[in-house]
Each structure stands twice: as structure tokens, then as C-alpha cells.
Chains A and B, each alone.
Chain A
Amino acid sequence: MTTAATTTPLATQPPKKPRGFDIVQFLEKYGVLLFLIVLCVAFGISSPNFLSVRNVTNILTEVSIYGIVAVGMTCVILTGGVDLAVGSVLAFGALAGAWVVTNVGAGAFFGMGFLVALIISCAIGTLTGYLHGKTITLFNVPPFIVTLGGMTIWRGATLLMNDGAPIAGFDAGYRWWGRGDVLGIPVPVLVLFVVAAAGYVVLRYTRYGRQIYAVGGNPEAARLTGINVPRVLVSVYVIVGFLAGLAGFLLSARLGSAEAIAGTSYELRIIASVVIGGTSLFGGMGGIGGTMIGALLIGVLLNGLVMMNVSPYFQQIVMGVIIVLAVAFDTYAKMRRGKR
């Protein structure tokens, strides 16, 4: 028999020194911000109106509507899921709220019709989100499928409600939420600011935020550390639903009418904002800060293309290319992290 032996540890290898400048790491961190700045400069030069106060306000208000939903979408994507139904839910909530307010008569609510519409819109968003979350967790259906179904279900419900016709005729108190301002700052932008700040604090400084990251980072490990994974999953769909309802209300106030086709294809730009902002589609990595930059980038891009008289059809192509590139980069960066 041979002599006894143990596994031989090799001489300790020197730890790999990080090489000076890593372009991928740099781009992962600052690439989007850099691109945003470049875009602003380019559009500013090519069309003088781009940087006017009026246009900038316009962009920010536009960004606010879907930026609010993007905050919730960040939570969803952080858990490794996705919500494709947000655009439909947004329209559904807005139309339902507007329908009640206009049909019951604004006078019935002592001039507080907007509050009723806001509550109904958010409640509908919350409820649909809860249904999505429960379906995902109870029946183990992928979020992609559940919310793809939800996308057409809620759009159909919206169209049914008023035969596809828009509802208009809001009072000034209602419209203020979309067109008013406080000290020159549009109301939707203020709402976004509050929502984004809350999202940032929750994700960064609370137990619940840690749980969201944990569930997305490693669901099995999360379960084994005592986290109620299904409850966390349901909660993020509730959050994104609630915010979609809120955004729907704001959009209807801004347009002065609740449209059954409002928010069509919003899910794409919302998901794009999150992914461009560096939140990984695999879950567990990312945050609100990046999402806000991503949302701004898309807002600037869409607005800039309009200013340059580029066909709106072309915008769709740009959006698609950007989202694929962002995900490709995310996958590439993840693979590199894995190798290191």
C-alpha cells in the first residue's frame, strides 16, 4: 500500500491585482450617464430648441409618467421577474377613475373628484398587481407569461368599459395634477421625485429592500435564511401595480382625458429604463439611481428624435435596438464577473 497522503495545498498564489483601467467596469458604472450627456450635447447643438426651458420641462414631465412606474419595475426586475402589463394597468386605472368621477358628477365629491379618481386608479393597479403576483407564486407560472396575459386582459377590460372611447371633461383640480406646477416644477416631476426617493430609501435602507435583493440574488438561499419568498414576490407586483395606477391618473390629468389606448407599449420603455439603468434582468443587482438615468436617457432620446424631425416609426427601432444592447451588455458583464 502506498503511504498515507492528504490533499496537497499548493503554495498560496498571489492574489490577482486588478489591472489599471477596466473599460467594461467603467462603462458598467458610468456608460449610460456618459451617453446621456453626449446625447444632450448633440441634440442641443443640432436643434437649438432642445435645451429651452419649455422643452426640458416637457421632457421631464414626460419622463415622470413612466419613471414612476419604472421605480416599481426596478423592484420587480430586482427579484428576477418582469411586468409587461404595466401599460395596460395604467390605462385601466386611469379610465376607471375618470369614469367614476365624470359619471357620478364632479359636484358629488365636493371638488375632490381628483382624489376619488386617484384612489380608484391606484386601487385598481394594486389589485391587478396582487392578482399577477398571486398567480405567479401560487401556480408557479413565469412572470413573463402571467403579465403578458395581464397585458391583454386589462387592455381588453379598459376598452370594454367605455367602448374604447376616451373620457374627458375634468375639472381644474384634476388637471392640476398633470399640468400644474409648484414653484415652476411640474407636479408629475414632484411626484416622481417623491416616489423615486421613497424607492431609493426602501431598497437601500430597509429590511424589506434587502429581502428584495436577496430573493432576486438567490431565491433558494433567501428561503433558507427564513425569507418568505412568495410574499416578497407578490409585494413587488403590488408595488408596480400601484405605481402604474398612480401614473395612469397623472397621465390622464396631463392629457385632459383618460384614453383606453393610453400607455400602449409603455412597458417597453419602462423595462428599458430599468435595464439601461444597470439593473440586471437576472435579478439581485441594480437600483433606483440607475433607473432614473435610464428613464431620462429614453426621454431625451425620444424627444430629441422628434425635435430632429425623425419619423416616429424610427423611434421604435431605436428603442428596440437600445433595449437589446443594454441586455447584451448586462449578460456580457455578468459573464465576466463569473469568470473573475
Chain B
Amino acid sequence: MGQTILKAADIKKVFPGVVALDGVRLDIEAGEVHALLGENGAGKSTFLKILAGAQPSDGGSMLFNGQPLDPADTPLARQRLGIVTIYQEFNLLPAMTIAENMYLGREPLRRNGLIDWRRMYRDAQKVIDDLGLDLDPRMPVRVLSVAEQQMVEISKALTMNARLIIMDEPTAALSGKEVDKLHEIIHGLRAKGISIIYVTHRLIEVTAVCDRFTVFRDGRYVDTRPVAGSTVQDMVRLMVGRDVEFQRRRDRFAGDRVMLEVRGVSRAGSATDPHACVLTDLSVQVRAGEIVGFAGLVGAGRTELARVIFGADGCDSGVIMVDGRTASIRTPSDAIAAGIALVPEDRKQQGCFLPHSIRHNMSLPSLKRLSKWKFFVDEAGERALIADYTRKLGIRMANDEVAIGTLSGGNQQKVLLARCMALHPKVLIVDEPTRGIDIGAKAEVHQVLFEMAKAGVAVIVISSELPEVMAVSDRIITFREGRITGSLPAEDATEEELMSLMALGGPASSPASSSLPGSGAAAHAHAAH
């Protein structure tokens, strides 16, 4: 320890319309495990991409082992220098063996230019043994568990003589035991003088395995502190401590009529599909005119529950009732017929037909109503509908024949909202409604949600941005690992409290369903520490 291996200073990155990194810095010492923390959108990913050579920076300097890094470096060049990234989605070829993956593109050669298989397997075995792993380098990667594949990635990094390993959410898909094993290996790497940048949302792990942590917030550097002497609560405060971007709303429209009732939704999960996460006994009630926020980390079950309600994914058990009537929902089409509308999480992949016109995008699910003889599109009616919603939502476009792909993110989102509103739903679910759109458009989108609530629609808002959830919701439900960990009125909730419920599952002492004092969460964080 002591010697600085990486010194990044004043790193800037600008994307069209947004400053992603505004002069951040990061110092990593040799043989330290350094946590990089921040909320979604804080700039962690962008910074790590720049460090890995996957993106150029727009300013700043990086010293690695005292040598300046060339901003024009490719990821390969950075790997040769010893900076290796292990992404959440592994870069392994499933059909190849462990050793082949470890030495991909750098296979040891015999003098005649052919691959020296014996040496490759011998070297691979040695690296694996050094890590204390029980793996046969001749096994194909496809038969390995996620945790084992991660070990292969780490072994691969070691064959590149990595000096600095970046681990992006390394434990997101691991079980408790596997996490312990990973941490053991990380300790081993540290003993060898290898530095690790550890990115995670699970702050408990930071206290378990890291030496220091650095916090980014909104593209800026906040602070670097030693883990010893810091609590999870301190980290949370550094991560979220900012002005609330959104005005909390005052008017409430929630009535008494329960519009959506979800009872006991459970799912066993799937070994083949990591997105089909386990859901355990989820029950939610949303009343007419109420806006309920779903808060939780990615993969905690908020989006997954929304997709089950909408019929986009299946579940093993559970009942969904809309406006007092049990709805049998197997497909999105059933859900729409029952009066549920969804603005999906990924605008481009799941929402928009990018090359198609705004008109076709907006009216598609409403065409059943807008048709003559159930077959021909009633174009006059269609245009009237589009003109109506374009005006209501303030969608800015040249005309409705323009491809939706040419619009700004905010306007695309408004088109998708209009698509849902035109269905006159009883329940509206919006997933990440303002991701990647600018502040002005965010406020406009929120206004639309308020209007919907005012009209008596039950609204569910899913967002990774806590300030947003807090600003728009009447009530906030927190998710963690497929379970609901809390349900509290938005007006009483604090970010720290919500973060605790999302990251730790809430205070163990008191029932999670009540609105809890912030001190309870803090006490739990201390106890866990």
C-alpha cells in the first residue's frame, strides 16, 4: 500500500445535452480495494468506460503507474497496460473451454506457430489453483454457474497481468455463499498487490471488503473516505445528499375506490433467464387517483412485478383485480382489455417503433376503437386523436408523419404516454418515465401523470431516481430481492430511509409496512456494520 497506481483528475465527459462527468477524480493505491459509489446516473459507468478505454474523455488526465494514459487508447491497449474490466455481462464464449477463454486472442504458441495446447492448459490450471478454485480448465464455460464464470473472468484478468481490476456490480447475480467466496478471492488479489475498483449498490459489501470508497453524484466528485470509521448511513448520505430536483406536489387526488389490487404474486424464478427474478408474495393496492411509487434497485422486483401485472411476463401464483373484478391476464393484450396500460422501462427497445411515424406509434393499440368495420383504420378519427394528445401533452414535432426516432427522448416519451392515455386506462404503469430526458421534459411528464391521477386513474410510477419517486407519489413501496420491504406515505419518507429499505430490507426490529422513523433505519445500518 501507499503507492498510487491510478491518479485520475478533472475528468470531463459531455454527451449531447448532458454533462455526464464534470471534473471527477479518483486515486487508487496499489493493493487496495476501492469502492466507487453513486446513484444511477451519477457518472460511475461513464467514468469506468473512460478508464477502460471504451470511450474517450472530453478533458482531464489519468496517470497509471506514474505514466500518463493516452486518451486514444483502445480497450485492448488498456488491458495490455494491466487495466482489466469485468463487466456485469461477461465477455465469455460459452462453447469454448475455460482455458480457451482465458487466453482468447493471446494463446501461447509453439515455435511453428500452432497453438501450444499443453502449455495453455498447464498455465490456466496454475492460475486457477493460485486462486484456490476448484475448476477444470478443460470444461466448457457454458456448463458453469454465474459465480464460476465470474471466477473465469478473474482468472482471465490475471493471465493479462492485471494491475487494476474493475468489477462492475460483481455480486448482482451471486448467492450469499458465492459472495463470500468472491470476497475471499478479492482479499487474495489484494495481498498480491493488485488494486480493485469495486462498484456495487450493496453498501454492506463495501464495509465487508473495501478499504476506501469514493462517491460520485450527478457527474461530480463528492468525497473519498476510508471505510473504517464510516457507516452505510454515511455512504447513503453522501450519495443522495443534494437538493431535491423536483417540486413535491401538493394536491392529492386519491379516492377510496381500489382500482388495482395485486394479491400474493409469486414466482420461482428461472435458471436460464436471469431477468425472471424470484418474486415472493407481492401484494399491492392502488386506489383511483392515487400515485404509488415503486422504489428499489435494478432487479429488486419493481419492474418485474409491473411486467407480471401487465401480462408481459408470467407468474406462478397470485391474483390481479382491476376495479373490483378479477382479471385473468396472460398477455399484454388481456391487460389492455382489463384497463391496464404500461409505458415500458426501455423506451427504444420496448416502446418505440423507431423508424415508424409518430402517428402509427401513437395510435397503434387504440386502432380497435378507431376502425371502420373492425378492419380499416379510421384515419380521420386517428388524426383527431393525435392532434388532441399532441396538444394536451405539448409534443413538439414537425408533423405526425415524422419517424418517432427523430424526436428527442422527452418527446418520444410523451408519444408513448399519449399512446397509453388514448386507451383510457383504469391503471397506468410508467416504468422509468423520465430516464434520459432533460429536466424541463421531466416536469412535463410528471404533470401528465398528475392529470391522469386527477382523472381518477390509478398510477404506478417506477423510477431509479428517488427524488422523482418522492416528488410524484402519494405512497412509496420499496422492493428488495423480490420482496416488498416497505410501504410509506411519500410526504414522510426520506431518501436515507428509502435507501435503507431498498439496500438492507429495512430495520429488522419494526414491521416494514409501517412508516418508520429515520433513526430506525440508521440503527439497523449500524448494527449490520
List A residues at the B interface (Cβ < 8 Å). 1-2, 4-10, 13, 205-208, 210, 213-214, 217-218, 220-228, 284-285, 337, 340
B325-353 with Cβ < 8 A to chain A: 331-333, 335-337, 342, 344, 349-353
Contact A206 B355, beta carbon cutoff 8 Å? no
Closest residue of chain A to B307, judged by CB?
Answer: A224
Residues A217 and B356 in contact, CB atoms below 8 Å apart? yes
Given known contacts A207-B367, A227-B333, A218 and B353 CB-to-CB distance under 8 angstroms: yes
Inter-chain contacts of B349 with A (CB < 8 A)? 218, 220-221
The residue from A7, A8, A214, A223 contacting B353, defined by CB atoms under 8 A apart? A214
A207 partner, pick from B22, B221, B223, B377, beta carbons under 8 A: B377
State how many angstroms separate the Cβ of B420 from the closest Cβ of chain A. 9
User: At the interface, yes or no: B368 with Cβ under 8 Å from chain A?
Assistant: yes
Instruction: Determine if A6 and B218 form an interchain contact, defined as CB atoms under 8 angstroms apart.
Output: yes
Q: Mark B360-390, 1 if CB is under 8 A from A, else 0.
A: 1000110110010011110100000000000
B16 surroundings in chain A (CB, below 8 A): 10, 13
19 A-B pairs in the complex with CB atoms less than 8 angstroms apart = A5-B217, A6-B439, A8-B18, A8-B22, A9-B440, A206-B377, A207-B374, A207-B376, A213-B353, A213-B360, A218-B353, A220-B349, A220-B350, A224-B310, A224-B342, A224-B350, A224-B351, A226-B333, A227-B364
B353 to chain A, nearest CB (A): 4
A5 and B242 contact, CB distance less than 8 A = yes
Kindly provide the distance from the CB of B22 to the nearest chain A CB, expressed in whole angstroms. Answer: 7
For A220, give the chain B residue with the smallest CB separation: B350
Residue of B whose beta carbon sits closest to that of A225: B365
- Which chain B residue has the least Cβ–Cβ distance from A215? B353
Q: A213 contacts which chain B residues (CB < 8 A)?
A: 353, 356, 360
Query: Would you call B241 and A4 a contact (CB within 8 A)?
Result: yes
Task: Please tell me if the beta carbons of B438 and A9 are within 8 angstroms of each other in the complex.
Answer: yes
Q: Chain B's nearest CB lies how many Å from the CB of A28?
A: 12
Indicate if the CB atoms of B439 and A223 lie closer than 8 Å: no
Contacts A5-B242, A206-B375, A225-B332 known; 15 new A-B pairs at CB < 8 A? A1-B223, A1-B241, A4-B242, A5-B218, A5-B219, A7-B18, A7-B219, A7-B439, A10-B19, A13-B16, A207-B374, A207-B375, A226-B335, A284-B356, A337-B405
Chain B nearest CB from A278 CB (Å) reads 13
Binary per-residue interface labels of chain B (426-446) against chain A in the complex, 1 for a CB within 8 Å, 0 otherwise: 000000000000111000000
Contact present for B350 and A221 (CB under 8 Å): yes
Whether the pair B344, A224 counts as a contact (CB closer than 8 A) is yes
- List 4 A-B pairs, minimum CB-CB distance, nearest first: A217-B353, A226-B333, A4-B243, A226-B336
Distance A7 CA – B40 CA, assembled complex (angstroms): 12
Q: Report A255 CB to chain B, min CB distance, Å.
A: 37
Secondary structure of the B contact surface, majority rule: mixed
Q: How far is the CA of A222 from the CA of B364 in the complex (A)?
A: 9
Provide the bound-state CA to CA distance between A220 and B440, in Å. Answer: 29
A337's closest neighbor in chain B, by CB?
Answer: B355
Contacts of A220 in B (CB 8 A): 349-350
Closest CB of chain A to B250's CB: distance in Å? Answer: 22
B70-95 contacts to A (CB < 8 Å)? none
Closest to B419 in A: A225
| Complex: A221 Cα to B19 Cα, angstroms | 30
B-side contacts of A227, CB under 8 Å: 333, 364
Within 8 A of A (CB), among B9-59: 14, 16-19, 22, 41
Asked if B146 is an interface residue, CB under 8 A from chain A, the answer is: no
Point out the residues of chain B lying under 8 angstroms from A8, CB to CB: 18-19, 22
Bound form: Cα–Cα A284–B360 in Å: 12
Which A residues are CB-close (under 8 A) to B335?
226
Interface 1/0 per residue, B228-269 and A, CB below 8 Å: 000000000010011101000000000000000000000000
**How distant is the Cα of A225 from the Cα of B349 in the complex, in angstroms?**
13
Q: Hey, which chain A residues are within 8 Å of B377, CB to CB? A: 205-207, 210
User: In whole Å, how far is A73's beta carbon from the nearest beta carbon of chain B?
Assistant: 20
| Residues of B contacting A206 in the complex (Cβ-Cβ under 8 angstroms) | 375-377
Residues of A within 8 A of B439 (CB): 6-7, 9
Which residues of A have CB within 8 Å of B365? Answer: 225-226
Report the minimum CB–CB distance from B231 to chain A (whole Å). 16
Residues A224 and B222 in contact in the complex (CB < 8 Å), given A210-B377, A214-B364 = no
Instruction: Choose from B17, B242, B331, B419 the contact partner of A228 (Cβ within 8 Å).
Output: B331
B476-493 contacts to A, CB under 8 A, are: none
User: Could you tell me the distance in whole angstroms from the C-beta of A19 to the nearest C-beta in chain B?
Assistant: 15
A7 surroundings in chain B (CB, below 8 A): 18-19, 41, 218-219, 439
Q: How far is the CA of A98 from the CA of B75 in the complex (A)?
A: 65
Are the CB atoms of B367 and A210 closer together than 8 Å?
Answer: yes
Q: With A210-B360, A213-B353, A224-B344 known to touch, is A6 a contact of B242 (CB < 8 Å)?
A: yes
**Closest beta carbon of chain A to B437's beta carbon, Å:** 10
Is B312 part of the binding interface, using a Cβ–Cβ cutoff of 8 Å?
yes
Q: In the assembled complex, which residues on chain B have CB atoms less than 8 Å from the CB atom of A208? A: 375
- B163 CB contacts on chain A under 8 angstroms: none
- Minimal beta-carbon separation of A305 from chain B (angstroms): 35
* CA A7 to CA B437, docked complex, whole Å: 11
Closest to A216 in B: B353
CB distance from B430 to the nearest CB of A (A): 13
Segment 167-220 of B: residues with Cβ below 8 Å from A:
217-220
Q: Which residues of the other chain, A, contact B371 by a CB distance below 8 angstroms?
A: 207
* Nearest CB in chain A: distance from B87 CB, A: 23
Q: Do A2 and B221 touch across chains, with their CB atoms under 8 A apart?
A: yes
Task: Kindly report which residue of chain B lies nearest to residue A207, judged by CB atoms.
Answer: B367
- Give the shortest distance, in Å, between A55 (CB) and chain B (any CB): 39
What is the distance, in angstroms, from B260's C-beta to the closest C-beta of chain A? 18
Residues of B within 8 A of A210 (CB): 360, 364, 367, 377
Within the complex, what minimum Cβ distance (angstroms) separates A213 from chain B?
6
Cα A13 to Cα B377 with chains together (Å): 38
What residue of chain B has the Cβ atom nearest to residue A6's Cβ?
Answer: B245
Choose among A213, A224, A227, A337 the residue with the greatest number of B CB atoms under 10 Å from its CB.
A224
Bound-state CA distance A10–B219 (Å) is: 14
Query: Which residues of chain B from 121 to 146 have a CB within 8 Å of any chain A CB?
Result: none
* Most central of A1, A205, A221 by chain B CB within 10 Å: A221
Complex alpha-carbon distance, A221 and B364, angstroms: 11
A217 to B375, CA, bound (A): 21
Report chain B residues within 8 Å CB of A224.
310, 312, 332, 342, 344, 350-351
B384 to chain A, nearest CB (A): 17
**Choice from A5, A205, A217 contacting B376 with Cβ under 8 Å:** A205
Nearest-CB distance from B23 to chain A (Å)?
A: 11
Q: In the complex, A83→B120 CA distance in Å?
A: 46
- B354 interface contact, C-beta 8 A: yes
B364 adjacent to A228 (CB under 8 Å): no
How distant is A128 from chain B, measured CB to nearest CB, in Å? 26
Which residues of chain B come closer than 8 Å to A6, judged between CB atoms? 218, 242-243, 245, 439
